[in-house]
Copies of this chain bind each other. A is one copy, B any other.
Amino acid sequence: MNPLVQIIAIILLAKVLGELVERFGFPSLIGEVAAGIVLGPAILNLVSPNEFIEFFADIGIIVLLFMSGAQLNMKTFAKSEKAGLVTGLAGVAFPSAFGVAAGYLVGLDLYECIFLGIALAVTSIGISVRTLVDLRQLKSDIGMIIVAAAVVDDVIGVILLGILTTLASGIGGFGTIALTLVIIAVFFILILTLGKKIILWSFESSRSARTHEMPYSVAILIALGTAVIAQEAGLHYAIGAFLAGLILGDSIRSDRLLYDSLADFAFGFFTAVFFASIGLYFSFSSDSPSIPFIILLVVVAFAGKIAGGYIGSIWFLRDRARSLIVGLGLSPRGEISLVVSKVALASGLISATLFSSVTVMVIISIFLTPILMSRGFNRLHSRDGPPA
């Protein structure tokens, strides 16, 4: 199929299923992921993952995180910094430990146990943020802790991926990992000092341009540019775009027309491709993994993040129900777990069955989290009254 027809089919089905799911009271991202599963190799096999779709999906996750950053006030968000750090660390430690233990329990070898620990460690920041956006909870105290923890989580994920690559290839070692850490630190420092000045200056300059779409173009260019820089520093695209969104948030929110137009650009076009592309990568493999093992993985995945999220945030939120939702919000796994699994499979660290089991766990966590979070917030609101 011609790539343009593929993109049309993906966005069309994603929007239709997203709308359907939303009418049943659940976040629309579930329908978008389902669209990918339906069109992809798993069911109809009309669209296979390809570089055009990946390119659109990359832009989708970038603008999603950019617009999520832009919805937040930087100073308010900075207050969640400490809570996010503690929650992020606990939210990685628990599922990793649980993963290693589960592997040991079912008799996997040492490398496979370490792999499971790493594959379970990292939250999908895209799914978490999108669920919060769909539920209109991004700006709540719970939402901001989840986002801050997911950012921390991603940084730890990069380090863990470095460890895995070292294990898998023998190349690298702890010198390389230390260097990775230094580069990440430099990235954060530069973007929050010099980068911030450049970003604000370019955006403000764009307002005096003659061509009336200029601030729109410049905002998108900043999102894409910072994403590329983050990736060069070894981080996920999304982290750079999120920071740029935070930096530009006040300026963009003060111009309602611009804000709406950028939100349309993100949610009305590109992000649907990102979520559908997750579904495209899913296939019902012939090495069918055992169902009890998958159930064990899903339980461990949720129990680990819920325990970590709860323990990390309870001191800050001082409310059990809210801290449980933080844990839930960190539970979806996504791109990074899939990348980790691919690296491990390709280097022979793990079996094809273990690989398939992890991908099934990822899909289940993607469908289950938004449903559970939507229920969690409903209960919270029926307890405390509707949100402000």
Residues of A within 8 A of B (CB): 2-5, 7-8, 11-12, 15, 18-19, 22-23, 28, 51-52, 55, 58-59, 209-211, 213-214, 216-218, 220-221, 224-225, 227-228, 257, 260-261, 263-265, 267-269, 272
> By the criterion CB–CB under 8 Å, are A213 and B263 in contact?
yes
Instruction: Write the nearest CB–CB distance from A12 to chain B, whole angstroms.
Output: 6
For A28, A55, A227, the residue with the greatest tally of chain B CB atoms inside 10 Å of its CB is A55
Question: B8, B19, B23: which contacts A224 (Cβ < 8 A)?
Answer: B8
Q: B269, A2: Cβ atoms under 8 Å?
A: no
Further pairs besides A8-B225, A216-B268, A265-B265: 14, Cβ < 8 Å = A3-B55, A4-B58, A4-B228, A8-B224, A8-B228, A15-B214, A18-B211, A22-B211, A28-B211, A52-B55, A213-B263, A214-B268, A257-B257, A265-B269
Q: B3, A272: Cβ atoms under 8 Å?
A: no
> Chain B contacts of A227 at CB under 8 A?
4
Copies in the complex: 2
Main secondary structure of the interface of A (DSSP, over half): helix
B213 in contact with A267 (CB, 8 Å) = yes
Verify B11–A221 contact, CB threshold 8 A. Answer: yes
CA distance A3 to B2 in the complex (A): 19
> Could you show 17 A-B contacts with beta carbons less than 8 Å apart?
A4-B55, A4-B228, A5-B228, A7-B224, A8-B228, A11-B217, A12-B221, A22-B210, A28-B211, A51-B52, A213-B263, A213-B268, A217-B268, A217-B269, A261-B264, A261-B265, A265-B269
Chain B residue nearest to A216 in the complex (CB)? B268
